[in-house]
């Protein structure tokens, strides 16, 4: 369905002389990516609103998208797998929130945050094989990843230890750090094994 819509939109762009016929495949692919990301985000946001975790969901998605953009990591080979992994990641975040609510695992969350920040500070961002970046671009991305994860850690620790009424936001930030770190580690491990 999404492929059909992206193909139709790309054809419309050619018909309206916005793009050239030679570029149709590139735009079709780009439109498909936008539609898939939008569909996944809307499904997760709707879930968040239904279960009364809208703020957590918005912070979680915003933080994860922002961090993954610079950090890199695993990219699924199909939309259905990407959708499932995105929903699973959100479920992990909700599970961490639930655990913190019932078991007060603040020290564990702080540890997870510090380990994730340490990993990104030590290793920086990961270069994509599909869309490789120059050495200078990777230096800039690594700086951003380090800054983002340090900020997430500082905010998370502050909210968990002092401003406990905002612990939900801390869990959103910390769970995104953990998920992004696992994503990068998974790809690096796979590359080393091959």
pLDDT tens digit sequence for 62-74: 999 999 888 888 8
| DSSP character at residue 78 | S
Contact call for residues 142 and 124 (beta carbons, < 8 A): yes
Contact call for residues 170 and 61 (beta carbons, < 8 A): no
Burial class, 187, CB count within 10 angstroms (exposed 0-12 / middle 13-18 / buried 19+): middle
What's the pTM value of the predicted model, to 2 decimals?
0.84
Contact call for residues 126 and 184 (beta carbons, < 8 A): yes
User: What is the distance between the alpha carbons of residues 36 and 139, in angstroms, rounded to a whole number?
Assistant: 29
Angle at 78 between CA 45 and CA 22, to 5 degrees: 105
User: What is the distance between the alpha carbons of residues 123 and 67, in angstroms, rounded to a whole number?
Assistant: 14
CA 191 from chain center: how many Å?
21
Burial class, 136, CB count within 10 angstroms (exposed 0-12 / middle 13-18 / buried 19+): exposed
**Each residue's pLDDT tens digit, 109-162:** 889 999 999 998 888 888 766 667 788 888 888 899 999 999 999 999 998 888
User: What is the distance between the alpha carbons of residues 11 and 6, in angstroms, rounded to a whole number?
Assistant: 9
Going by C-alpha positions, the residue among 160, 177, 161, 174 that lies closest to residue 121 is 177
Average pLDDT over every residue of 35-64: 95
The more confidently predicted of residues 64 and 193 is 64
Q: The tokens of 62 are what?
A: 């915003």
Instruction: For CA atoms 128, 155, 179, 59, give the dihedral sign.
Output: negative
pLDDT for residue 130? 65
Average pLDDT over every residue of 19-38: 85
Stretch (H or E) spanning 187: helix 167-193
Q: The tokens of 22 are what?
A: 């030679």
């Amino acid at each position: 369905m999404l492929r059909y819509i992206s193909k139709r939109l790309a054809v419309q762009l050619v018909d309206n002389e916005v793009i050239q016929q030679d570029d149709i495949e590139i735009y079709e692919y780009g439109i498909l990516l936008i539609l898939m990301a939008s569909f996944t985000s809307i499904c997760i946001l709707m879930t968040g609103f239904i279960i009364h975790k809208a703020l957590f969901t918005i912070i979680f998605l915003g933080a994860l998208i922002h961090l993954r953009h610079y950090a890199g990591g695993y990219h699924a080979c199909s939309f259905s797998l990407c959708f499932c992994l995105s929903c699973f990641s959100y479920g992990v975040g909700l599970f961490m929130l639930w655990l913190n609510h019932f078991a007060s695992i603040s020290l564990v969350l702080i540890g997870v945050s510090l380990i994730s920040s340490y990993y990104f500070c030590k290793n920086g961002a990961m270069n994509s094989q599909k869309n490789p970046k120059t050495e200078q671009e990777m230096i800039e991305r690594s700086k951003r990843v380090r800054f983002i994860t340090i900020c997430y850690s500082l905010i998370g620790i502050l909210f968990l230890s002092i401003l406990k009424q905002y612990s939900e936001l801390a869990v959103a930030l910390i769970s995104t750090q953990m998920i992004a770190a696992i994503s990068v580690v998974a790809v690096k491990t796979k590359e080393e094994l091959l």
